[in-house]
Structure 1
Amino acid sequence: MSVTLPIAALLFLFVLGIPVAFCIFIATLTYFLLNNHLPMMILIQRLAGGLDSITLLAIPFFIMAGVFMNYSGISKRLLKFSEVLTGHMNGGLAQVNVILSTLMGGLSGSNIADAAMSSKLLVPQMVKRGYSASFSSAVTAASSLITPIIPPGIALIIYGYVNNVSIGKLFLAGVVPGILLCLMMMVLVAFIAKKRNYAPIREKRASVREITVSAKDAFLALLLPVIIIGGIRFGIFTPTEAGAAAVVYALVLGMFVYKNMNTKTLWDATKESVLASANVLLIICMAVGFSKFLTWERVPQQLASWLTATVESPMTFLLLVNLFLLIIGMFLEGNAVMIVLAPLLAPVAQSYGIDPVHFGIVFIFNGAIGTITPPLGTVMFTTCSITKVSIEDFVKEIMPFWILLIVALLMLTYIPVISTGLPNLVFG
């Protein structure tokens, strides 16, 4: 009873649309109220202790680095580079959308931020060139799902912190899946564009000289993910220190190299970073308290015992987890799902002998799919609110991408080497 009521309260508040952090806090408070022998001071200590971690500093650092990159004009340089690479293909501007999301994933770390940026930057241009607004919105939303698994995705940092998994390995584990997903989406976009006669934005393939000039302009931005991963791998800095280095790097680019940032834009970018960081960290703070009482009540252990007694095969377990997360992702925000459920499911996955890095990528990607799924997908609502496309029209256009994403999810789930191959090769 002491566990059932708090969890029921959590789900009920989610359905009512209460902000995630407050839902988790009220559920945790309910548990303490039902157990009078537990002093409220313990609740305060657990909530405060939830943020008492050097690892968590990586989140505001990488968020700030991504925001600084946007303000420094990096997005426009990456857009130009993407146009040069894919402008000659069928559906050239839609291909640019996919490539830009992949490149920006290494900078922004947030699929909502990426979707919002592309909705403002690319969708109006696509509509002017004859693309339907609903298709443009669907491409923007679907391609933004590459962002959470491309380093330094914020979801990778949160998952690593919550489940004590190497963040450096998670960063590397997302590289191949991210590139694979990008290529799959480009093939689908080319197929749809050919059927609908969406013309390329360039008459012919770019010359080597054009590609070289464009790459040179975007080189410093593209170098950031390499610096982050290389620095972590060779022990130059920890993931947290890598975040700080990314901020300094983005600041130097914006202020002194590209000179697109001044005192005013620096202040605006800092405010935006603080607000975005506070939102994520508040949820983590509340979730730590919530996960503590679940541990006290031995919920993860009981769930693991029940599943291992009921489900014999790790393949079947992964299938059930995917189905469960896809359904719950239709109603709950991705980070909330990860923070609440990952500490429950990750130990069970380990009991089946599933690599924690592999399971982390599957879990994160699963949560990302939920963000474009009705009825409450956060990326879906963000994109549609900016582009003024109805949810009904968006859903019709997103279906082919949703099918592709499910295929990609099954590949990630049942071919572990896609996510574990690179970190095993680099870290041994």
Structure 2
Amino acid sequence: MAKVLILLFFATLALGIPVAFTMGIAGMAAILVDGALNPLIIPQRMYGGIDSFPLMAVPFFILASELMTACGLTTALLRFANDLVGHIRGGLGHVNVLVSMLFAGISGSALADAAGPSAIVMRMMRRAGYEANYAGALSAATATIGPIIPPSILMVVYAIADSRVTVAGLFLAGILPGLLLGLSLAAANHFVSVRHDYRGRTHRASASEILSSGIAAGPAILMPAIILGGILAGVFTPTEAGAVATAYALVLGLGRRTLSMSALYRVLVRAAVTTSSVLIIVAMASIFGWLLTYAQIPQTLAGAISGLTQEPLAVLFLLAGFALVCGLFIDTLPALIILTPVLSPIAAQFGIDPLQFAMMLVLNLTIGMITPPVGPVLFVIATVGRLRLEGLSRAVLPLLAAELIVLLLVILMPAVSTVVPRFFGFAN
């Protein structure tokens, strides 16, 4: 059964069939070949995969992100970032990084960032004389900060798949790696800017201008603080935090009179479509992941790794390499749902900290979003910027190297993932 499941999955994936349906087709075929399983287990597992109270946070965070974007706060974030760092060498590149870090606290999604603020800054960079492929590559790379800095949709899904961690713990674990990711991309942008003589704007913003733009962007910056603050204070759960964020964004849009009824309707439609695509992937991946466990793939893989090494760090490197290869060919969300129940027990068996492993896996698969041949963020940027994927893939390599350095730090230094959660009492 395991051979049919895996071979058919990759065969249908190679044919270009959407990943949600490849998992369903492979799962159905494996059940029929096995003969011992009732096909009715498919709808049962699909329903069980999405019948989760914590998963309700996903549509709330998606809707909150859409509402904040519709309120026009992206422009305010851009102005604030430009006032802060636009004057230094490679200024617009640093603006790109900073805006993505700020927007990550609103969207929690790389694709939302790539299609929104990153795409806007990319066009600004091209008008300012930056090489088109580099502007696109930096925009793609900075978009990957979205799933790392809380709130993160991927971390909500991970916490559902691995009972050893909580959503709040994962949110806190993502803060330091997210900041390191931003700093590494800013450093890479600096070196590229020195090499190509990309200068910042001639006018340096005054303190009053920075204060003014900061106040305008304040409502957007405040949202992640409300989410994390409420969770840490015990006022509400992560799911309730999503609802609070949605209510906050709605009140903000109506109060500022930037959200009309027609705009609200479009926001609801976009959020419903995005949520539906996420939930069907979660449902199908639940079947696929359960079948992998039923076929004892985790035990087989753990046995193979045990035969190679008993050293936890070496095991973590092996798991990271395996996840990195999977991220090249499978979209991030289904890969996360499939790999978590398979690899997490192996990490636990070798005594690897659950938060460290979670951050390694999430960061690993997020990096896969800018690596060909799948690289969904690259495809979004290539489409929006009308760029050739080949040139974009070459330009992203130095930025990819910067992100891999952060991944290496997460693997080598558990404290990168655990120090913040431990400070707030969310780690062992």
Give the structure-1-normalised TM-score. Answer: 0.96
Q: Are 1:119 and 1:387, in contact at CA under 8 Å, matched by a contact in 2?
A: no
Separation of aligned partners in 2, 1:423 and 1:147: 19
Counterpart selection for 2:311 from 285, 310, 313: 313
Partner of 2:210: 211
Alpha-carbon offset, residue 227 of structure 1: 1.1
Q: Please list the CA deviations of residues 70-120 of structure 1 after superposition, one character each: whole Å capped at 9, or x if unmatched.
A: 001111111111001101111111111110011001111110110111354
Secondary structure of 1:320 counterpart? helix
What's the % identity of the aligned pairs? 37
After superposition, residues 174-323 of structure 1 pair within 5 angstroms as 174-204=174-204, 206-256=205-255, 258-323=256-321
- For the pair 1:391 / 2:389, whether they are aligned, the reply is yes
CA apart distance, 1:296: 2.4
1:301 deviation in Å? 2.7
**1:46-57 equivalence runs, <5 A:** 46-57=45-56
Match of 1:368 in 2: 366
2:414 alignment counterpart: 416
Root mean square deviation, CA, Å: 1.3
- Comparing 296-305 with 326-335, greater Cα deviation is found at 296-305
Alignment partners' CA distance in 1, 2:282 and 2:75? 33
Shift in Å, 1:36: 2.8
Q: Is 2:348 the counterpart of 1:356?
A: no
Asked if the contact 1:89–1:190 (Cα under 8 Å) also holds between the matched residues in 2, the reply is no
2 CA distance for matches of 1:347 and 1:11?
24
Q: Work out whether residues 356 and 418 of structure 2, in 8 Å CA contact, stay in contact via their aligned partners in 1.
A: yes
> Structure 2 counterpart of 1:248, which letter?
A
Residue 334 of structure 1 corresponds to 332
Residue of structure 1 equivalent to 2:155: 156
The equivalent residue for 2:401 is: 403
Kindly indicate whether the alpha-carbon contact (under 8 Å) linking 1:233 and 1:427 is maintained by their aligned counterparts in 2: no
Q: Unaligned 5+ residue runs, structure 1?
A: none
Give the superposition deviation at 1:6: 1.2
Letter aligned with residue 188 of structure 2: L
Shift of 1:245: 0.7
- Matched letter for residue 201 of structure 1: R
Report deviation, 1:213. 1.6
**Count of residue correspondences:** 425
Partner Cα distance (2:81, 2:52) in 1 = 38
**CA–CA distance in structure 1, aligned partners of residues 376 and 220 of structure 2:** 28
Partners of 1:109 and 1:355 lie apart in 2 by 24
Task: Extract unaligned runs of 5+ from structure 2.
Answer: none
SS in 2 for 1:90: coil
Counterpart CA distance in 2 for 1:344 and 1:303 is 8
Structure 2 CA distance, aligned partners of 1:252 and 1:218? 16
Deviations 1:194-241 (A, max 9, x none): 22121212433x332222222111112111111111111221111111
Structure 2 counterpart of 1:377: 375
Task: Confirm or deny: 8 A CA contact 1:326 1:366 kept in the other structure.
Answer: yes
Structure-2 separation of matches of 1:202 and 1:186: 20
In structure 2, C-alpha distance between the alignment counterparts of 1:88 and 1:110, rounded to whole Å: 28
Deviation at 1:270, TM superposition (A): 0.5
Contact preservation (8 Å) 2:12, 2:22: yes
- Alpha-carbon distance in 1 for matches of 2:32, 2:358: 34
**SS at 2:329's partner residue?**
coil
Q: Is the 8 A contact 2:230 2:236 kept in 1?
A: yes
Distance 1:166 1:186 in 2: 31
Instruction: Return the TM-score normalized by structure 2.
Output: 0.96
Q: CA deviation at 1:48?
A: 1.4
380-389 vs 326-335, which deviates more? 326-335
| CA distance in structure 2 between the aligned counterparts of 1:392 and 1:32, rounded to whole angstroms | 40
Residue of structure 2 in register with 1:16 after alignment: 15
Runs of 4+ in 1 over 3 A off after TM superposition: none
